[in-house]
Structure 1
Amino acid sequence: FFPYAVLKDSAMALIVVGVIVFMSIWLGAELGPKADPTTTTYVPRPEWYFFFLFELLRVIKPPELVPIATIGIPTIAMVLLFLLPFYDRNPERNPLKRPIASIAGIMTIVAMAFLTFLGANAGSPTDIEIEVAPEFEPGKLVAAQSGCLACHQFGENGNNGPGPKLTEIGARLNPAAIARSLIVGPGMMPSYAAMQEEEPEKFRDLVAFLSSLNGEEQATEGEGAAGEAVESAGGDPAVTVPGDGGTEAAGGGSESGSSP
């Protein structure tokens, strides 16, 4: 063992450490912005060797199937790998004479490589993928950057609770009701009154976008009504809710509680 095996191990260890040091100097560390615990736009991402699992979770979207992607598939793959000597008794070592094992291995590598590529180029989980008319795109961006996806669901994006789904909010509430709910902030929802005062254009865009969501694939309404609703919401304590022909005080009743 000494000195030949020790010399070989030491030489290999020195090469590996040298490569790591060289890559750290040449490529540098991937440092992000200063940590901000109050941000709602930070996109957490795993290390590159978990990109395939990261993308697998994006593919399997129903919450009840998430354990299959996080626990089921990796566990089954690991168990099959451990049991390989017991169920594969073929003495051949030539890959050409073991087509099933070779094809399974190649398909696994290709699938992991493909999912890793997709995971590395995946968009932000804070994106809202609902297709809307061009005039509503600014409002969609405001909604994505304001943390709405943390409590609400837009189509297939976001979380199903604790807030209601907003895919059809425009069909249930008129622009005045939506604007009023944003200002008051019913229940656990934060108020957007500061946005209305400091950035009224962004607030109008947000109301216009939410008002356009009627469950259809693409919104085509104009945003004039939403702009008027924003102006009126600041002074009128009651808002009209479509469908029941009456008015409802902001913050009270089931309809205002189902606002964004």
Structure 2
Amino acid sequence: MNQREKEQYLREYSILKSKGKPFFPYAVAKDSLMAVVVMVVIVLMALFLGAELGPKADPTTTTYVPRPEWYFFFLFEVLRIIKPAMLTPVAAIGVPTICIILLILLPFYDRGAERRPERRPIATTAGILTILTMGYLTYMGAAAGSPNEIDVEVGAQYEPGKLVAAQAGCLACHKIGHNGNDGPGPELTDIANKLPKAAILRTLENPTAPMPSYADMDTERKQELVDFLAQLRGEEQGPPPE
């Protein structure tokens, strides 16, 4: 802000101060009224919508898919679409950190005297795009439901089994390609090179702890899951073991 802008600011400030109203009681009354409106809305939502309650917590399950609160849905969706998995820390930590740093440094790199949105096209456009992007990602994260995608190429006949594997929570303990976790279960990327189809079925129905049993799973879905797992051979596409 140069000397001319400072003088203009001081003149406008003195005019506004002479015509303005004191903070108390005018601003206090407006803030109090808005606080009451917000409280009424929250109480009405609690009375008519209620809390989003899930089933009773089971600390032994490995198939439960946790969901964040709604105000984290946008970040949840970013993590979903980021591929490969090694870039996940960039989305989860790097991007929010950069945004926070930019906000903290805003007074130092935005030294313009203008405050009207139409006279600040870059800042206004950036703000609108940020709000629209976060709104879209929040909507997509809310509508996505449980994870339903495993990023590996399989034949069309194995797509139903791939969907079952994603929805059954297999990625919570296993890794398939670059999807999922490195434990506590073994990697399944090349499970067909180690176990025949019958052994995979027996493992699903009678596993060792802490893996849950899938004996009660619908027969058709279980067979689709077995078929999908039985064709996972990693980069080696040799015949399955006898």
1:121: Cα distance to partner? Answer: 1.4
The answer on 1:148 being equivalent to 2:167 is no
- Note the C-alpha offset of 1:45: 1.3
Instruction: Return the match for 1:91 from 113, 124, 132.
Output: 113
Q: How far, CA to CA, are the matches of 2:204 and 2:57 in structure 1?
A: 28
Residues 39, 161 of structure 1: CA spacing in aligned structure 2 closer, same or farther, 3 A cutoff?
closer
State the partner residue of 2:88: 66
| Aligned residue among 100, 112, 124 for 1:78 | 100
How far apart are 1:176 and its partner, in Å? 4.2
> In the TM superposition, what are the counterparts of 1:1-260 in structure 2 within 5 Å?
7-125=29-147, 128=150, 131-134=154-157, 137=160, 141=164, 143-144=165-166, 147-171=169-193, 173-179=195-201, 190=211, 195=215, 201=219, 205-214=224-233, 241=241
- Give the residue type in structure 1 aligned to 2:60: T
Q: TM-score, normalised by structure 1?
A: 0.64
Q: CA deviation at 1:80?
A: 0.9
Determine helix, strand or coil for the equivalent of 1:212.
coil
Give the Cα–Cα distance (whole angstroms) in 2 for the partners of residues 184 and 29 of structure 1: 37
Amino acid at match of 2:175: Q
Deviations 1:114-161 (A, max 9, x none): 2111111123136546555457736862x4565432222234532234
Alpha-carbon distance in structure 2 between the residues aligned to 1:92 and 1:151? 54
Distance 1:146 1:29, change over 3 A: closer
| Structure 1 residues 175 and 58: CA distance shift in structure 2, 3 A | same
Report the Cα distance in structure 2 between the residues aligned to 1:52 and 1:31, rounded to whole angstroms.
21
Give RMSD over aligned pairs: 3.6
Bigger drift between 158-167 and 106-115 goes to 158-167
Q: Identity percentage over the alignment?
A: 57
Paired letter, 1:209: F
- CA 90–7 in structure 1, closer or farther in 2 if over 3 Å, else same: closer
Q: Secondary structure at the match of 1:11?
A: helix
Q: Number of aligned pairs? A: 214
Task: Normalising by structure 2, report the TM-score.
Answer: 0.68
Which deviates more, 122-131 or 8-17? 122-131
Deviations 1:183-220 (A, max 9, x none): 7857x77485x83xx7794765543332133459xxxx
CA separation of 1:124 and 1:191: change in aligned 2, threshold 3 A: closer
